[in-house]
Chains A and B, each alone.
Chain A
Amino acid sequence: MGGLRGGPMDAPVDPPAGGPIQLDALGSRGAFRARNRLTVADVTGQPVAELSQVPRLFVQRGLSALRAAGPAGSGALAEVIARAGHAFANGTVGGLSAPEYQRLVSRVSGVPVAVVRSATARIERAAAEVDRTVRCARPTATVDHWRDPRTRGGGAVWARRGDVFAVHAAGNHPGVHGLWLEALVLGYRVAVRPSGREPFTPHRLVTALREAGIGDDRLLLLPTDHHVADDIVRGADLSLVYGGDAVVEKYRAHPNVLTQGPGRSKILLADVDTGVGAGLSSALDTMVASIRDEGGVACVNATAVFVAGDPAPVAEAIAERLAGLPSLPPEDDKAVLPVQPTADARRLEKYLLGQADGATLWLGGDGIVDELGDGSAVLRPAVIQLDRPDAPQLGTELPFPCVWVAPWSPKDGVGPLRNTLVLTVIGRDERLVERLVDEPSISNVHVGHHPTHWMAPGVPHDGYLAEFLMRSKAVIR
C-alpha cells in the first residue's frame, strides 16, 4: 500500500470502566433498558456499547403516546431546540462530554474524528437556525396561523400533513441528524430509529432535546431490529428513511415515505483545459475536496467525474493528490480516511476490484485496504478511469473516497448526469447549466468551484424537508 502511516499504534479506546456504555431506548415513559441488546463494537471489533432493542409492543405504545400528545406550542420550541443543539455540541449529555462522544462516534463508525467534530458543529448550527430554515420552505402566499389577518376574506395557512413523523436514520455520517429537527419545530411528534452502526448521535441529540424541555411524549428514540423497524414507518403519518437502492425502491410508491438514498454526486468539467494549466489546478482543488472531505462517506461526496476531453490527465492528477493521504486510526486528529473492520474492508475491496475489472485504476489497483494491525483497516482512495460516459460503474457509490472518471462531450447530453444529488459543473456554458438546473433527477447544481459537499442552513439538501411535511390549506373567515 502506498499510504503514509502514522506512528506506532496505541490502544485507542480503553474498555469503559463498569462495562459497555448503555444506550437505552427513550420511550414515552422515559428511558427503557431492554433485555434484548445489540452490541455496538468499534472498528477493531471491541464492544463499546450496548443498544437496547425494543420489541414491537414498545414501538406501538410509543407511537400511540406520540399521537395522543398534542403539538408543542410553537413559541418556545425553536429556542428549546437551539439550546439542545448547543448542549449537544458542547455540553455533557447523558454522562458523555462532547469530545468523548466524538471519539466514540469516530471509533464505532470509522469516520475521521475531525469530520465528526464538524458534523457536531453543523448540527448545532442547524438547531440554532431551524426556524429560519423551515421558513425558507414556506410558500410565500401562506401564513403560519389561521388567526393571521390575511386569512380574512380567504388565504392560505401552512399546515402539517400529519402528526407523527418517523426517521429511519443512517449510520454513515452523524450529520444526517440535523435534518429531522425541522419536523420537530413544525410541531411534529418524532420517533427516531437509530442505526445500529452509530447510535450515539441520535441518542445524544434526543437526550439533549429532552433535557432542554421537549416532552418525553413528543420525541422518542426507538432502537429496534429490522423486523420491527417497518412498524415504525407503518405507524407514523410521514417518514424519512435512509437506505440503499433497495430501500428507495421499496418505498417508491409510498407517498408518505421520503427516502434519502445513495447520492451519486458528480462533477462535470464541461470545458476545462485538461492540460496542466491553472484551469485544471483550481478545478482539481474542488474535485479533490468533493471526493475526500467528510472522509468520502457522505452522500454529497463526489463519486463520478465527467470530463469534456481526455479524462486520463484528470484521473492522474486526482490520483496523485489522493495518494498521499495518511492512514491513521479514525480518532487521530489528522485522520482523513475512513476505517472499517478489516473483514468488511476486504469485502469492499473485492467488490471494488470486481467492478473495476477492465478499467484503468490510477489509484487502488493494488487494493484499498491498509491494515492498522488492530483488526481495523483504513479504506484508501481509489481513482478509476472508464472509457464511456454511460459505463454502468458510474452508479457505484462506496463508503470511502472512490471516484470513477469518464469522458463526456456535449453530444452525450444530460443523460449520464441524471440521478444525482449534487452536481458541480465547472464551465462557462450557461445553456448547459440551464439544462442541468431544469433536469428533475438532479437535486442540486453547484456552478463553478463549489465542492459537492457544500451545505448551509436554509439551502435545501434534497429539497426542503418541509416541502414534504407541510401543505397549504385554504382558510376563509
Chain B
Amino acid sequence: MAVASDPVLTFPPDQVPDPEEFIQAAMRWHFGPETGSPYWLRRARTLDFDPRRDVRTFDDLRLFPNIVNELRDVPARDLIPQGYGPSTEVIGVYESGGTTGAPKRVAYLADWMDRYVTWSTGRMDERGHPRDAHWLAMIPSGPHLWGEVVARQARRRGGFTSTIDLDPRWVKKCIAEGRGDEAGRYVEHLLAQGEFLLETQDIGVLVITPPLLERLAQHEHLVKLVNEKIQVIIWSGAHMDADSRHLFRTEVFPDVQLFGNYGSTMILCGAVERAGSEDECVFDPFAPHISFSVVDPETGQPVPYGARGQVVMNHVSRSALLPNNLERDVATRIRPEAGQLGDSVADVSPVRTFDDEVVIEGVY
C-alpha cells in the first residue's frame, strides 16, 4: 500500500517550505522502514550517523558520503521508495553520459517529472517564452533523460516536438579514439536532418547542445533560418564558455533569446539560467529539491561568493535522495535568490586542465 508522505515534500509550486522542515521530512521518508527505498535502507546500516536523528538542516547533508558511484551497479528497482506502494509510475530508467566510467542510472518517477516540468515551464513563462510553439530538439533521447523532459515541457506549453536524436556517447568515443573527423561527420549528419525541419516547419524553439550550436553557426544558411524562425534557443548538456555565449547573443543570434539549462542526471533535472544574466550565466536550481554548494575541492569548504570552486549537488524529493555529490564541474559561487537553499552557480566549466606544460626537447 502507498503511504502518505509529509505534505511538505510536495509543497505547491507557489509556496517555499521551511528548509529544515523539508529536510527532516525527507529523512523520515527515505529512512523510514515503511517508506524508504531498499537501497537507502540497506545503505543506512553502513552510515556512522542516523539520518533521521542527525540530518536536520541543509548543511547536515554534508554528512552523507557521495554515493553516486554505487549507482553504476544498484538495480534501479531498489532506488524506488517503498512508500509509493506497488502502483508507482516509473517513467523510465535514465543514465549519466558515462564520461567518468560506466554509466550511473536512476529511476525516474512520474510525480517528480510533473513537479519539475511545472517548475521549469513556470520559469519559461516568466521569461516570456512562446506558448503553442513547435519545438525542434537536437538532443539525446534514452538512455539519457533530457529528450523525455523536453518532450513533456513542449507538450505542457501547448507545443509539439520534432526530434533529431543525438548519441553523445558515440561522439565521445570517436573523439577519445582520435577519430575527430568521424565525430565531425556525424554532427554534419545531424545538422543536415535539422535543416529539413528548419526549412519546412514553423519552429519557434530550438533545443540543442552548445557544441552542436557552434557547429550550426558555421553554416550561414542555418544561421539565417534560426534568426528568422526561432524565438528561443534552449541549450544544455555541455558547458558554454562566457565568450562564446557573448558572441552567440551579440553577433550570431542577435534576435534570439538564449536560455541555458545546467542539467545533470544526478539531480534528475536542470537548473535554469537566471533572467537578466548578462555578463555571467547564472543558474538557479529548483529549491529546495535541488541545491548546490561551491566548494574548494581540497578542503570541501565553501569558497567565497564570486570565487571559483567545484560544484556539490543535492537532490532531495519524495522520489529520490541523491545527496552530497561532488560533480566534476567548476563554477563561480553566486548568492542565491531569496528562499533558495545553498548557492547559485555561474560560468560552469569542466575541471580545467592546464596548458603549456614544460616541454624539454626542442627550442619552440
How far, in angstroms, from A262 to B279 measured CA to CA in the complex? 43
Kindly list chain B residues whose C-beta atoms are within 8 Å of the C-beta of A56.
214, 244
- Chain A 212-228 interface mask (CB, 8 Å, partner B; 1/0): 00000000000001100
Tell whether A351 is near chain B: CB-to-CB under 8 Å.
yes
B interface with A by C-beta (< 8 Å): 214, 217-218, 220, 241-244, 246-248, 251-252, 279, 355-356, 358-364
How far, in angstroms, from A56 to B245 measured CA to CA in the complex? 11
B364 touches A170 (CB 8 A): yes
Q: Choose among A29, A64, A171 the residue that contacts B364 (Cβ–Cβ < 8 A).
A: A171
Q: How far is the CB of A357 from chain B (nearest CB, A)?
A: 15
A396 touches B361 (CB 8 A): yes
B363 touches A243 (CB 8 A): no
B217 touches A61 (CB 8 A): yes
Kindly list chain B residues whose C-beta atoms are within 8 Å of the C-beta of A55.
241, 243-244, 247
How far, in angstroms, from A453 to B356 measured CA to CA in the complex? 28
How far, in angstroms, from A171 to B363 measured CA to CA in the complex? 9
Kindly list chain B residues whose C-beta atoms are within 8 Å of the C-beta of A247.
364
- Chain A 223-264 interface mask (CB, 8 Å, partner B; 1/0): 001100000000000000011110100000000000001110
| Known pairs A54-B243, A56-B214, A57-B214 / 17 extra A-B pairs, C-beta < 8 Å | A35-B242, A36-B241, A36-B242, A55-B243, A57-B252, A58-B243, A60-B218, A197-B356, A243-B364, A244-B362, A245-B362, A247-B364, A262-B362, A262-B364, A298-B363, A301-B363, A347-B358
How far, in angstroms, from A225 to B349 measured CA to CA in the complex? 15
Kindly list chain B residues whose C-beta atoms are within 8 Å of the C-beta of A261.
362, 364
Closest A residue to B181 by CB, please name it: A234
Q: How far is the CB of A443 from chain B (nearest CB, A)?
A: 16
How far, in angstroms, from A398 to B348 measured CA to CA in the complex? 40
Closest A residue to B214 by CB, please name it: A57
How far, in angstroms, from A54 to B247 measured CA to CA in the complex? 10
**30 contacting pairs across A/B (C-beta < 8 A):** A35-B279, A36-B241, A36-B243, A54-B243, A55-B243, A55-B244, A57-B214, A57-B243, A57-B247, A57-B252, A60-B214, A60-B218, A61-B247, A64-B220, A170-B364, A172-B364, A195-B364, A225-B355, A226-B356, A242-B364, A244-B361, A245-B362, A261-B364, A301-B363, A344-B358, A347-B360, A348-B360, A351-B360, A398-B361, A398-B363
Residues of A1-58 at the interface with B, using a CB-CB cut-off of 8 Å, are 29, 34-36, 54-58
Kindly list chain A residues whose C-beta atoms are within 8 Å of the C-beta of B214.
56-57, 60
Kindly list chain A residues whose C-beta atoms are within 8 Å of the C-beta of B355.
196, 225-226
B218 touches A64 (CB 8 A): yes
How far, in angstroms, from A232 to B359 measured CA to CA in the complex? 22
How far, in angstroms, from A34 to B244 measured CA to CA in the complex? 9
Known contacts A55-B243, A57-B244, A61-B251; A244 and B364 CB within 8 A of each other: yes
Closest B residue to A38 by CB, please name it: B355
How far, in angstroms, from A35 to B364 measured CA to CA in the complex? 27
How far, in angstroms, from A93 to B274 measured CA to CA in the complex? 42
A299 touches B356 (CB 8 A): no
Tell whether A397 is near chain B: CB-to-CB under 8 Å.
yes
How far, in angstroms, from A307 to B141 measured CA to CA in the complex? 69
How far, in angstroms, from A410 to B321 measured CA to CA in the complex? 79
Query: What is the total number of residues of chain A having a CB less than 8 Å from a CB of chain B?
Result: 41
Closest A residue to B241 by CB, please name it: A55
Q: How far is the CB of A235 from chain B (nearest CB, A)?
A: 9
How far, in angstroms, from A397 to B360 measured CA to CA in the complex? 9
Tell whether A105 is near chain B: CB-to-CB under 8 Å.
no
B217 touches A399 (CB 8 A): no
Residues of A262-307 at the interface with B, using a CB-CB cut-off of 8 Å, are 262-263, 297-299, 301
Q: How far is the CB of A206 from chain B (nearest CB, A)?
A: 19
How far, in angstroms, from A195 to B248 measured CA to CA in the complex? 27
Kindly list chain A residues whose C-beta atoms are within 8 Å of the C-beta of B252.
57, 61
Kindly list chain B residues whose C-beta atoms are within 8 Å of the C-beta of A36.
241-243
A297 touches B356 (CB 8 A): no
List the 4 shortest-distance A-B pairs measured between CB atoms, nearest first: A244-B362, A55-B244, A170-B364, A35-B242
How far, in angstroms, from A271 to B213 measured CA to CA in the complex? 66
Closest A residue to B349 by CB, please name it: A36
Closest B residue to A398 by CB, please name it: B363
- Chain A 102-114 interface mask (CB, 8 Å, partner B; 1/0): 0000000000000
Kindly list chain A residues whose C-beta atoms are within 8 Å of the C-beta of B242.
35-36
Interface centre among B242, B247, B359, B360 (most CB of A within 10 A): B360
How far, in angstroms, from A60 to B24 measured CA to CA in the complex? 52
Kindly list chain A residues whose C-beta atoms are within 8 Å of the C-beta of B363.
172-173, 262-263, 297-299, 301, 397-399
Closest B residue to A170 by CB, please name it: B364
A196 touches B356 (CB 8 A): yes
Kindly list chain B residues whose C-beta atoms are within 8 Å of the C-beta of A54.
243
Kindly list chain B residues whose C-beta atoms are within 8 Å of the C-beta of A301.
363
Q: How far is the CB of B281 from chain A (nearest CB, A)?
A: 11
Q: How far is the CB of A375 from chain B (nearest CB, A)?
A: 16
Kindly list chain A residues whose C-beta atoms are within 8 Å of the C-beta of B244.
55-58
How far, in angstroms, from A60 to B356 measured CA to CA in the complex? 23
B246 touches A35 (CB 8 A): yes
Q: How far is the CB of B331 from chain A (nearest CB, A)?
A: 14
How far, in angstroms, from A348 to B220 measured CA to CA in the complex? 49
How far, in angstroms, from A215 to B356 measured CA to CA in the complex? 32
How far, in angstroms, from A243 to B251 measured CA to CA in the complex? 34
Residues of A297-320 at the interface with B, using a CB-CB cut-off of 8 Å, are 297-299, 301
Kindly list chain A residues whose C-beta atoms are within 8 Å of the C-beta of B246.
35
Q: How far is the CB of B358 from chain A (nearest CB, A)?
A: 6
Kindly list chain A residues whose C-beta atoms are within 8 Å of the C-beta of B220.
64
Kindly list chain A residues whose C-beta atoms are within 8 Å of the C-beta of B248.
57
How far, in angstroms, from A232 to B260 measured CA to CA in the complex? 27
How far, in angstroms, from A396 to B362 measured CA to CA in the complex? 7
Q: How far is the CB of B224 from chain A (nearest CB, A)?
A: 13
Residues of A171-193 at the interface with B, using a CB-CB cut-off of 8 Å, are 171-173
Q: Choose among A170, A242, A245 the residue that contacts B361 (Cβ–Cβ < 8 A).
A: A245
Q: How far is the CB of A62 from chain B (nearest CB, A)?
A: 11
A262 touches B361 (CB 8 A): yes
Q: How far is the CB of A257 from chain B (nearest CB, A)?
A: 15
Residues of A369-417 at the interface with B, using a CB-CB cut-off of 8 Å, are 396-399
How far, in angstroms, from A64 to B221 measured CA to CA in the complex? 13
Closest B residue to A301 by CB, please name it: B363
B243 touches A35 (CB 8 A): yes
Kindly list chain B residues whose C-beta atoms are within 8 Å of the C-beta of A243.
362, 364
Q: How far is the CB of A78 from chain B (nearest CB, A)?
A: 29
Kindly list chain B residues whose C-beta atoms are within 8 Å of the C-beta of A64.
218, 220
How far, in angstroms, from A261 to B251 measured CA to CA in the complex? 38
Closest B residue to A226 by CB, please name it: B355
- Chain A 89-111 interface mask (CB, 8 Å, partner B; 1/0): 00000000000000000000000
Q: How far is the CB of B38 from chain A (nearest CB, A)?
A: 44
Closest A residue to B280 by CB, please name it: A35
Kindly list chain B residues whose C-beta atoms are within 8 Å of the C-beta of A61.
217, 247, 251-252
Kindly list chain B residues whose C-beta atoms are within 8 Å of the C-beta of A297.
363
How far, in angstroms, from A21 to B363 measured CA to CA in the complex? 26
How far, in angstroms, from A399 to B242 measured CA to CA in the complex? 37
How far, in angstroms, from A47 to B220 measured CA to CA in the complex? 40
How far, in angstroms, from A301 to B362 measured CA to CA in the complex? 12
Closest B residue to A225 by CB, please name it: B355
How far, in angstroms, from A242 to B241 measured CA to CA in the complex? 28
Kindly list chain B residues whose C-beta atoms are within 8 Å of the C-beta of A298.
363
Q: How far is the CB of A422 from chain B (nearest CB, A)?
A: 14
Interface centre among A56, A348, A351 (most CB of B within 10 A): A56
